Structures are given as structure tokens and as C-alpha cells.
Amino acid sequence: MARIVVTVMLKPEILDPQGAAVRGALTRLGLSGVSDVRQGKQFVIDLDGALDSEREMVLTKLAGELLANPVIEDYQLRVED
């Protein structure tokens, strides 16, 4: 069994209003020194069997075309055993 974690984040140059709202809330709740907050999303995919190169290639394609919007988001795949 293989677990793949896909983390999707807005590109650094894209404004993040949700992150800015969270940053403001953290400050109001008493956490000082917060310079920035960026929001993102995470997908955890459990596969039956091992991860081979073909499955990894399909997952990479799906992450880039389905899970992330390549115009405004970056993504990262991480394999957990």
C-alpha cells in the first residue's frame, strides 16, 4: 500500500485573501509576530499495492491537470510508505 500526499498552494505572486483573513484573526486572537499566512489544500491518496513508475506518472499528470490549477497554483507530490 502506498500513500501519496498532494499539497496544492497558490503561487507566491498570487494574492491570498483567505490567508490574509486568517493572519488578521491570529493577530486579534493574541498571536503576535505573524508576518504572513498562505492557505492551501491537501489530497491524501491511498493506493492498493506498490507505487510503480507508471502509476507515479499518472498521479503527476492528475495532480497537474485535476487537483491544481497550473495558472495560479503549484503542487507537490510526496510518497509516504
**pLDDT digit string (tens) for 23-76?**
999 999 999 999 999 999 999 999 998 899 999 999 999 999 999 999 999 999
79: confidence class by pLDDT, cuts 50, 70, 90: very high
Quote the pLDDT of residue 1.
87
Task: Say how far apart CA 10 and CA 74 lie, in whole Å.
Answer: 6
Pick the CATH number of 2-80 from 3.40.50.10170, 3.30.1280.10, 3.40.47.10, 3.30.310.40: 3.30.1280.10
**Mean pLDDT, all residues of the chain:** 95
| Torsion sign across C-alpha atoms 54, 80, 50, 46 | negative
Quote the pLDDT of residue 31.
97
User: pTM (2 decimals)?
Assistant: 0.86
Q: How far is CA 63 from CA 19, 38, 43, in A?
A: 22, 20, 9
Would you put residue 18 in left (φ > 0), alpha (ψ -120 to 50) or beta? alpha
